[in-house]
Amino acid sequence: MQPADHPRIADARIGVLIVNLGSPDAPEASVVKRYLKEFLSDRRVVEIPALLWQPILRGIILNTRPAKSAALYASIWDRERGDSPLRVITGDQAGLLQAALPDVTVDFAMRYGNPSIPERLAALKAAGCTRILVMPLYPQYSAATTATVVDKVGAVLKDMRWQPALRVLPPYHDDPLYISALAQDARAEMAALDFTPDVVVASFHGMPERTLHLGDPYHCHAQKTARLLREALGVGEAGFRTAFQSRFGKAEWLKPYLDKTLQSLPGEGIRKVAVIAPGFSADCIETLEEIAIQGRETFFHAGGTHFAYLRCLNAGTAGMQMLSGLAARELAGWRESGH
């Protein structure tokens, strides 16, 4: 028997927390500034010593970029649901994953901004979750994305007396569930186009090139995803290109750059392209603005005639089958034990 003043112990449950990068709370400069300050102060994202970087960040970047970024966010904001596409889609993914796995408690968090990892981990704990599977929705591992999620979860657990047991979804860049979901979705989207692309361009978010030499597997993971996707689509090497987008700062980033690729294709006689972004689990500013708006303009300006952006897996059937398959596999042994 517990004494009457014993702290309440909830029934043990399993929690699943899906995590994506995060967005500002509103497409307004002051709000974007707060988000960028948190994001770009993460020392895994910008690997310049803080003494050098913080004056540049606070003195220059946070005085110039927020207004520009806010205008770009405004151009892609989901007006109907009053939120950023990334947060809307991640919330939908969590809802559908919950429906697919009714015996566990599913929630979602954003690495930067809201809903925060500390807030949602506290909620899972309050709901009685003694075992938590964290799913960073980055198929390709990078220190700037996957590792920062684990850092943050670790920082939260550091202050807990009674910590939940933890599992983390490994990178799934070459997982057959992921590759077949991408191929199935891309095939369906291309079948609905009114043209046949000469080339499919797979665009991945860039990383500073030095991270490759420092041992970050991101570049290799991206290349492997691209090759497996090309093979799954049954496209030859001539009909497929891989590129990296969203360069930030003055250093060299992984190449080839997406904008340069789109500029040069029409000169090679390639005037019809479909661009896919396999590294993004959900459409966001980097896909909806940088590819679907800017990329299209760049390509047409260079002489292209047909351009299609193929949406991310988002909360579609193929993507949700993949997510529930990955989650079920990572939860093996936990669910069966009656927790």
Ligand X SMILES: C=CC1=C(C)c2cc3[nH]c(cc4nc(cc5[nH]c(cc1n2)c(C)c5CCC(=O)O)C(CCC(=O)O)=C4C)c(C)c3C=C
Minimum CB–partner distance for residue 163 and ligand X (Å): 28
23 binds, among Fe ion, ligand X, none (CB under 5 to 8 A by kind): ligand X
Of 201, 207, 310, 315, the one binding ligand X (CB under 6 A) is: 207
Angle of CA points 288, 293, 295, to nearest 5°: 105
In angstroms, give the least distance from the CB of 130 to ligand X: 31
Query: Cα separation of 203 and 138, whole Å?
Result: 14
Q: Could you tell me the smallest distance in angstroms from the CB atom of residue 120 to Fe ion?
A: 21
| Residue 145 touching ligand X (CB under 6 A) | yes
Chosen from ligand X, Fe ion, none, partner binding at 93 (C-beta under 5 to 8 Å by type): none
For the chain, the straight-line distance linking the first and the last C-alpha, in angstroms and rounded, comes to: 22
Interface pattern 53-82 for ligand X (x via CB under 6 A): ------------x---x-------------
Q: Which of 109, 121, 133, 144 is the binder for ligand X (CB under 6 A)? A: 144
Inter-CA distances, 285 with 71, 223, 246, 274, Å: 11, 23, 10, 18
User: Does the footprint of ligand X cover residue 284 (CB under 6 A)?
Assistant: yes
| Sheet hosting strand 272-276, strand order edge to edge | 240-245, 199-205, 272-276, 306-310
* Alpha-helical runs (H) found in 62-161: 62-76, 85-100, 117-126, 146-158
306 labelled binding-site residue: no
Per-residue interface string for the shown chain with ligand X, residues 7-46, x marking contact by CB under 6 A: --------------x-x---------------------xx
Shorter beta-carbon distance to ligand X: residue 107 or 216: 216
Q: Report yes or no: 314 and 186 within 8 Å, Cβ to Cβ.
A: no
Is 140:22 a contact under the CB 8 Å cutoff? Answer: no
- In the region spanning residues 81 to 110, those forming contacts with ligand X, defined by CB under 6 A, are 84, 86
Question: Which window, 96-104, 149-157, 172-180, 281-289, contacts ligand X (CB under 6 A)?
Answer: 281-289
Q: Residue 28, annotated ligand binder?
A: no
Is 322:313 a contact under the CB 8 Å cutoff? yes
Instruction: For the chain, give the longest Cα–Cα distance.
Output: 80
| Partner from Fe ion, ligand X, none contacting 186, C-beta within 5 to 8 A by type | none
Sequence letter at residue 48: I
Name residues contacting Fe ion, limited to 204-233 (CB under 5 A).
219-220
Q: Where are the alpha helices (DSSP H) in the chain?
A: 29-40, 50-56, 62-76, 85-100, 117-126, 146-158, 176-191, 209-213, 218-233, 258-264, 296-301, 317-330
The answer to whether 86 touches 284, Cβ cutoff 8 Å, is yes
Scanning 195-203, 282-290, 300-308, 321-329 for contacts with ligand X by CB under 6 A, the matching segment is 282-290
Tokens of 37: 């300050």
Enumerate the known binding-site residues for Fe(2+).
205, 286
Binding residues: 205, 286
Q: Binding residues for Fe ion, per CB under 5 A? A: 219-220
Interface positions with ligand X (CB under 6 A): 21, 23, 45-46, 65, 69, 84, 86, 138, 142, 144-145, 205, 207-208, 246, 248, 279-280, 284-286
